[in-house]
Structure 1
Amino acid sequence: MSSVDAVVIGAGHNGLVAANLLADAGWDVVVLEATAHAGGAVRSGEIAAPGHSSDLCSSFYPFGAASPILSDLELDRYGLNWRHSPTVLSHVTSRDDVAVMGRDAATTAESVSEFATADGEAWIELFTQWERISEPLRAAIFAPLPPVVPAASLLGRLGTAETLRLVRRLLLSVRELGEELFSGEGARLLLTGNALHSDVSPEGTGSGVYGWLLAMIGQEFGFPAASGGAQTITDALLTRLRERGGIVETNAAVERLVVGNGKVLGAITSDGRSWRAHRAVLADVPATTLYRDLVGVEHLPGRMVADLENFRFDRPVLKLDWALSSAVPWKDHRLAQSGTVHIGGDTGGLTRWAASLAADEVPEEPFILFGQPNVADPYRSRPGKQTAWAYTHLPKSFAKLSADDDRIMAYVDKIESRLAELAPGFSSSVVGRSVQAPVELSVKNPSMIGGALGAGTSSPGQQLVFRPVVGLGRADTPIDRLYLAGAAAHPGPGVHGGPGANAAKAALRRSGRLTGDLYRAAIQGAHRLVY
C-alpha cells in the first residue's frame, strides 16, 4: 500500500490545479489518471493527419485568460503563453451577414453599428459597465459559495439599485436580453452565439447570463489559444506539479474508494494497487461516477441518492478536426481574422435550432462552432500544415452513436457543405479528417459521458447550490475528507481551474489544526439541513 497526504482522481486540468495547490501547501500528492495521458480535454495530438497537431477537444480559452486561479499559478514560468487572433470572433448568418467582436470595444461597436446605428454606443456602454465590475465579479464566480467578500465589493462598486438591475437582466433569456439592449441583429448575435457555447436555449431563463458573461470576458481578455497548442497548458501544470514533488500515475483507473465511519480512507485501482490518503481524496470525475461507482450509494444520504436520479448531463457533441494544406479560403475576409467563428442563422434561426434539439430532432441548419487555431498561433505548425476544427451539439438520442453511424455522417456532410458555401475550395485543402462522435469522445475521455463536454447541464436548476444536486454548491461531499473537484461542481465547465481550486481550498481548511474540526462540523450541519 502506498501512503500519501492526498489522492487526486483524474488528471484533467482541474485535478492538476488541485494537486498543484496542495503541493504548494507541502502535501504529498499522487494523481491517478485512468487513461494513458494526463490532460483530459486539454490535450493535443496528430489525429487528422501526420504532422498536423490538433487540439483534441478544447482550443480557445477566454476563461483561462480571465481566471485568477490560473494567473496565480504563474504558468507562464512553465511555458504557457497566450496567443490572440486579430479579432476575437465572428458570427456569420445563413444570409452570410457577419458580425465581428474585435480585440477592442471600438472595433466591435463599429461592426454592430452596421446592423443598427445606435448599437455601437450601446455596446460601448455595456462594456464600460463590465469594466467596473470585472475584477470582483470574476472573483465571485470562481470562489467557493457563498462568495461573501467579492460580492460585497461588487455591491460597493455598483450600489444596490444598479446591482438589482444587473441581476434582473441576467435572469432574462439571451433573446430577451439582446432585445432590451440592442436594436439590430449584429450585437444580439454576438450575445446569442456566446450563450450557445453552453447547452441552454436562447429562450431559456438565465441564458442571458451566459451570453453576456462570455461576450464581456471575450471583449476584455479575447479568445486566446495556448502557444503551441492545448497540450502546453497541461504540460505547464505537470511540470509545475512535479517540481513540487507531485506524482502522476497514468493507466491507473480508480475502481473504488475505501470509506469507513463516514470518512474516505483511500483508493483502490483496477490493477489491485491501494493508496492510503491521510488527509483527503479529491475527485476530478463526473458526479455520477464519484457517488455511484466509486463511493457507492450505501454510504450516501438517501435523499442525495434520490436527487442523483434527476441529475442531467448536457447534450452530446460532434467534434471534427481537419488537417489542411492552406488557410481556410473564406469568401468574406473578416472570417479569416477570427480564431473562433460562429456559423448559424439569425436569432430566430438559433432558437429554431435549439428547439429541434430539445424535441430530439435533427435541426435543418446546425449551429457550428468553428476554430482555426493557426490564425491566433501561426507558428504552431510548419508551412503547409494548418488545422481547423468544428463542433456542434446533437440531439440527446445521439449520445450512443459512433463515427461510423449514418446519422453522424449526415451531420458531417451538413457541416462540410456549409463550409464549402462560405469558403469555396475548403474541401480541396483538406488532407486529413478526424470525426469524434459521442462514443469516440467518451472512450478517449471517460469524463465525457455520452459525449457531453460540460459534466452536467448548464440549466439554472443545476447551477450554484444545485450543482451537481441540491446541496451546498461547494466541493465538500457527505463523506468526510472527500471532495468533488471536476466540472460537475461549482463553478462548472470551462478551462479556468475553479472546481479544482475550490476542492483544494476545502481540503486545506478541513485539515487545519485549529479550524479543521469546526469547518467539518459546519459542513455536516449544513448537509443535515439538506439531506
Structure 2
Amino acid sequence: MSTQAADAIVIGAGHNGLVAANELADAGWSVVVVEATGVPGGAVRSAEVTAPGYRNDLFSSFYPLGFVSPALTALDLGEHGLRWRHAPDVLAHVLPDGRVARLHRDVEITAASLDEFAPGDGDRWRAAFAAWRPVADPLVRALLTPFPPVRASAELLRGEGVAGALRLARRLVLPVRALGREMFAGEGGPLLLAGCALHTDLSPEDAGGGFFGWLLAMLGQQVGWPVPEGGAQRITDALVARLEERGGRIVYGAPADRVLIARGRAMGVRAGGDLYRAHRAVLADVPAPALYLDLVGAAHLPPRLVEDLEHFRWDGSTVKVDWALSGPIPWRNPAAAGAGTVHLDADLNGLSRYAADLASGDLPARPFLLAGQMTTSDPGRSPAGTESLWAYTHLPFRTQWHAEEIAAHVERMEAVLEEHAPGFRALVVGRHVAGPAELHGANPSLVGGTLGGGTAAAYQQLFLRPVPGLGRPDTPVDRLFLASSSAHPGGGVHGAPGHNAARAALVRAGRAGSAYAAAVGAAHRAIYR
C-alpha cells in the first residue's frame, strides 16, 4: 500500500469529476483523480462496437446543455480539439400514423412543419421562441449554477418583472401535456415538447415535465442539439488533455472504497488499495447513495440523512442498441431523414401509456424510441453512404434483468424501426446491445442502467436533491463535496455538478472558509437534527 497526497482528490473521472478537477487545477491546486475503470469519461465515451469504421457513442450523444453550459464553455475545450457538428434537422417526432413534426434551427422551417398539424401553430411557435430569447441566458445560468441562483434570478426578475416572473414560475411546474395544450392547437407542437420531456423519467402528466420539454425544445431552436465531431469521446479527451496540461493526474483501475474521515473532516480516500491524502478537499463524482452509504458510512452521518436516503429514487433503467447500417435509414416518411434525433412512434396518449407501463413496473408492449442518426449528424462517424444509428428506450427501474427480457425488448425496438423504415433490418451489418447490466458494468455510476443520477421528479430537485437539504454540493462531512448528477441540478452533460462542487471547495479553502464551514455545519445540523 502506497500513500500519495494532493490538494484535492476527485473520485471518478466522469465528465463532472473532470470539470471539477480542471477548475481546481486552474486555481493552482494539485489534483489527483481516482477512477474505478480503465478509461475516463463515465457516460461520455465512444468506441467501435458494431463494425469496423463505425464510431459509436456508448452512452450520451447530443449536447444542447453542454453547448451552452457556463461550466463547459469557460474551459475553452475548443483549444483541445473539441469541434461541434449539426444534423440538417435538430429533431423529428414520428407519429404512429407516419406524420412527422420537425424541429429545425431555422424557425421558419419549424413553424411550417407545425402549421401542417394546425394552421396558426407556426405563429404560436414563433411567439414562444420570441418569448424564450430574452430569458434564455439567465434561465440557463439559474439552472446550472449553485442553488439558490441569486444573480440569475434577479436578472430574470428585472427583465420579466413580477408578473412575467410569476408566469414563468408557473410554466416551470406545469406537466408537459398541460403546457402543450396551452401553447398549441394541433398535435405537432405538443409532441415536440413531450418527446423532449421524456428524455427524463417524467411522464406527460408529471409536474415539471413542461419545463424540461420547453427547455430542450427551445435550446434546439436556438442552438440546435450539437454533437462533437468524431464522437462524444472528444469531450472527454479535451477535458483530460486540459487537466494533464495543468499538472492534474488520473489514476485508473483504482475503485474508491472509503473516504477517510477524522474529526468530522474528509482527509483523503482509499482507492485501489492505496491511500490518497487530501490537503484541502475530496470531491465525489459518484451517486449519492454510493458516497454516503458505501464510501462514508452511516457512522459519520446524521441519522436523519441516512433515513432520508431510504427515500432516494432512481430514474428508470435503460436499454440502448447501436446498429451499423450499410445505407441510410429508408424512412417511410422522408421528413425524418435529416434529423439528428428521432422520437419514434407515439402520440401524446401513447407517451402517457408508455409512461404508465413504466410506473407500473411493466415492459411496454410498444416502446417509445429515442434514436440518433449519427452519420447524418457527423459524416465521419461511418463510411460514406452508410449510417451509424442508435436507439434507446426506458425500462422500469430494476437492478436485475433477465437476458431473455432484454432480448425480447430489443426485438420490439427493431419492429418499431422496421415498421417506420421498411427494409431497416436488411441494412444491419452490426449490432451492439447494452442492457442495464452492461451499462452499469461499463460505468458503475449508471446503477441499474439509470442515466440521470436519480429521478428528475420535482420531489427530488433543487434543495430536495439528492435528499432534503441545501441544494448545494456540501455534505455533512467538512471538506467533502458531492460532484455527481445526484447533486443539483441533476443529469445531463453540462458539468454543472462538478463546477458547483469545485466552487464550494475553493470557498471552503479560502479566507472565509472557517465561517463558511460553520454556516454550512449549522444549516446541516438544523436540517438533520
TM-score, normalised on structure 1?
Answer: 0.98
Give the secondary structure class of the aligned counterpart of 2:379: coil
1:461 matches 2:459 = yes
Q: Which residue of 1 aligns with 2:247?
A: 245
Picking from 149, 170, 184, the partner of 2:151 is 149
Q: Which residue of 1 aligns with 2:51?
A: 49
Picking from 190, 211, 214, the partner of 1:212 is 214
Which residues of structure 2 form unaligned runs of 5+?
A: none
Q: CA shift at 1:137, angstroms? A: 0.8
Give the secondary structure class of the aligned counterpart of 1:396: coil
Q: CA shift at 1:385, angstroms? A: 5.4
Alignment of 1:97-108 (within 5 A): 97-108=99-110
Q: CA shift at 1:528, angstroms? A: 1.6
Q: Distance in 2 between matches of 1:381 and 1:243?
A: 31
Picking from 517, 524, 529, the partner of 2:526 is 529
Q: CA shift at 1:335, angstroms? A: 0.9
Q: Which residue of 1 aligns with 2:412?
A: 414
Q: Which residue of 2 aligns with 1:491?
A: 489
Q: Distance in 2 between matches of 1:312 and 1:169?
A: 24
**CA contact 2:86–2:377 (8 Å) conserved in 1:** yes
Identity of aligned residues (%): 54
**CA contact 1:344–1:350 (8 Å) conserved in 2:** no
Which residues of structure 1 form unaligned runs of 5+?
A: none
Q: Which amino acid aligns with 1:415?
A: M
Q: Which residue of 2 aligns with 1:366?
A: 367
Q: Which residue of 2 aligns with 1:137?
A: 139
Aligned residue pairs, count:
526
**CA contact 2:319–2:435 (8 Å) conserved in 1:** yes
Q: CA shift at 1:124, angstroms? A: 0.8
Q: Distance in 1 between matches of 2:267 and 2:503?
A: 19
More displaced, 467-476 or 106-115? 106-115
**CA contact 1:200–1:207 (8 Å) conserved in 2:** yes
1:427 matches 2:429 = no
Alignment of 1:238-387 (within 5 A): 238-270=240-272, 272-383=273-384, 386-387=387-388
Alignment of 1:26-105 (within 5 A): 26-105=28-107
Q: Distance in 1 between matches of 2:244 and 2:189?
A: 45
Q: Distance in 2 between matches of 1:242 and 1:395?
A: 40
Q: Distance in 2 between matches of 1:352 and 1:37?
A: 39
Give the secondary structure class of the aligned counterpart of 2:380: coil
Q: Which residue of 1 aligns with 2:515?
A: 518
Q: Distance in 2 between matches of 1:133 and 1:112?
A: 23
Q: CA shift at 1:384, angstroms? A: 5.4
1:194 matches 2:191 = no
Q: Distance in 2 between matches of 1:13 and 1:357?
A: 29
**CA contact 1:361–1:395 (8 Å) conserved in 2:** yes
Q: Distance in 2 between matches of 1:327 and 1:385?
A: 6
Q: Which amino acid aligns with 1:86?
A: P
**CA contact 1:51–1:385 (8 Å) conserved in 2:** no
Q: Which residue of 1 aligns with 2:400?
A: 400
Give the secondary structure class of the aligned counterpart of 1:52: coil
Which consecutive segments of 4 or more residues in structure 1 shift more than 3 A? none
Q: Distance in 2 between matches of 1:489 and 1:395?
A: 22
Q: Which residue of 2 aligns with 1:171?
A: 173
Q: CA shift at 1:200, angstroms? A: 0.7
Q: Distance in 1 between matches of 2:382 and 2:219?
A: 28
**CA contact 1:279–1:481 (8 Å) conserved in 2:** yes
Q: Which amino acid aligns with 1:465?
A: F
Q: CA shift at 1:379, angstroms? A: 2.2
Q: CA shift at 1:503, angstroms? A: 0.2
Q: Distance in 1 between matches of 2:67 and 2:431?
A: 29
CA RMSD of the aligned region, Å? 1.0
Q: Distance in 2 between matches of 1:424 and 1:213?
A: 33
**CA contact 2:56–2:381 (8 Å) conserved in 1:** no
Q: Which residue of 2 aligns with 1:478?
A: 476
Q: Which residue of 2 aligns with 1:223?
A: 225
Q: CA shift at 1:169, angstroms? A: 2.1
Q: Distance in 2 between matches of 1:438 and 1:118?
A: 43
Q: CA shift at 1:386, angstroms? A: 3.3
